[in-house]
Amino acid sequence: MEEIKDQEITEQEIEERVRQLLFENMIEGSNGGYTFHYTKPSPDTYPFQYFWDTCFHVNTLTSLGEHEMAKKHIRSLFLLQDEDGFVGHILYWKHPFPARITDIFQLRPKDLLRLHKPHSSALIQPPLVAQAVERIYQRTHDKAFLEEMLPKLKRYYKWLMQNRDFEQEGLLSIITPYESGMDWKASYDPVLNYSRGKAGKMLFLKVMWLEMGNFRRGYDLKKIYAQDNFIVKDVAFNTLYALNLLALADLCAEAGDTEQQFFRDKAQQCSASILKYMYNAEDQAFYDLAGHSMRQLKVATATVFFPVALPNIPDAVCKAVLERHLFHKDGFRVPYPVPSLSVHEPAFDPGESVYIWRGPTWVMFNWFMHRFLLDKGYTQEAAELLRSVKELIAKSGFREYYNPFTGEGLGAHSFTWSGLVLDMMQAQNGASAN
């Protein structure tokens, strides 16, 4: 798909180009007795089915009115679900090898013997799938689809609780940077004993050593936790977990399932722990946590304000975080918000790099905060985030990420996440109509 070159673009043109983008990246086929259906995030760089990317695609597909297509994406995502509920972060349907040879260490050792068959990674990703299913149900009221997916969702979220809530505080831990979806996030540098600021080859080697260790331990989570090499409670990951537990509770209520209160209570526990352990009143920011001691990783990434989207975070805390970091843009004052890292951080790098999430702007941040701002009545501030995304797309097309100062498109081309602009446009137009 050709990049957009014109500086002016109408919303109708954006919708047409988003539709073209998703359909050009869409894959459907059969292998090993499975019929799969998904959208590649980009044609070459990311050719597989990815967990949270699929959830983003559901939001865009439903915005396009492609509800049956969205259902197929979710069904495909759960085809390889383990009996215990686990779902991997990458599903390899027809390609036997990962995109990078080093990603072989993200597989369970047993899967090395079945690379020619459909298989998944041993890692997880931010658990947005309950909200994705809820989105489909809200648009279609398809009870049969809800009843089909609800048992799978319940098993998946219970697996997370039983296997990643190591301290029983309601917070989930990731065991490698790749599980956050924000691979080289700068807040992880202290955990990896990397203190050189901007990323380099040494950081890559440290992460590879970590992945090799997890692989050698056969992804035995008890052993990995005891080793405590990389046990991180990520702010965004846990915020999304809490929001999705609430969505799951609502889906249970729609289906008349008796476990709705169980999931609501778990969401409450997670939210309370986020406030208790992650919030730093002095910095007015939420920080990732490291290790058994859950020490705060005081690096100002764009996730410092994520938990304001949780319903039980006190209004005073929400206002303080928003005022300082999003509205006044302390460290986040750039022409094209929201940068993935504060410009004041030593690791900040706004340009193109294999070490992503250390400065450039990603559409996902704007999309996530946009809906919250609309819900809270910050209509103008939400419009500003949408305006920024529309300008980025008009200037540089659908790219993986963008330079926050110039708007230059960087990373993968024809990148589907930028299609989330359509969901933002519809939400903004709906708010304006009300």
pLDDT tens readout for residues 253-275: 999 999 999 999 999 999 999 99
What average pLDDT is seen over the chain? 95
What pLDDT does residue 110 have?
86
Within a domain: 178: yes
Within a domain: 400: no
Task: Report pLDDT digits (tens) over 103-127.
Answer: 899 999 988 887 888 999 999 999 9
pLDDT greater than 70 at residue 4: no
Task: Report pLDDT digits (tens) over 139-177.
Answer: 999 999 999 999 999 999 999 999 999 999 999 999 999
Within a domain: 184: yes
Per-residue pLDDT averaged across 185-199, rounded? Answer: 97
Q: Which residue range forms the structural domain that includes residue 226?
A: 11-394+414-429
Within a domain: 272: yes
Within a domain: 408: no
Which CATH number covers residue 245?
Answer: 1.50.10.10
Within a domain: 262: yes
pLDDT greater than 90 at residue 329: no
Least confident range of 78-87, 102-111, 172-181: 102-111
Domain count, the chain: 1
What pLDDT does residue 328 have?
87
Per-residue pLDDT averaged across 52-59, rounded? Answer: 98
pTM: 0.96
Within a domain: 294: yes
Least confident range of 96-100, 109-113, 247-251: 96-100
In the structure encoding, which two tokens stand for residue 401, read together?
Answer: 């990420």
Provide the pLDDT confidence category of residue 7 given band limits of 50, 70 and 90: low
Within a domain: 145: yes
**What percent of the chain has a predicted confidence (pLDDT) above 70?**
98
What pLDDT does residue 100 have?
77
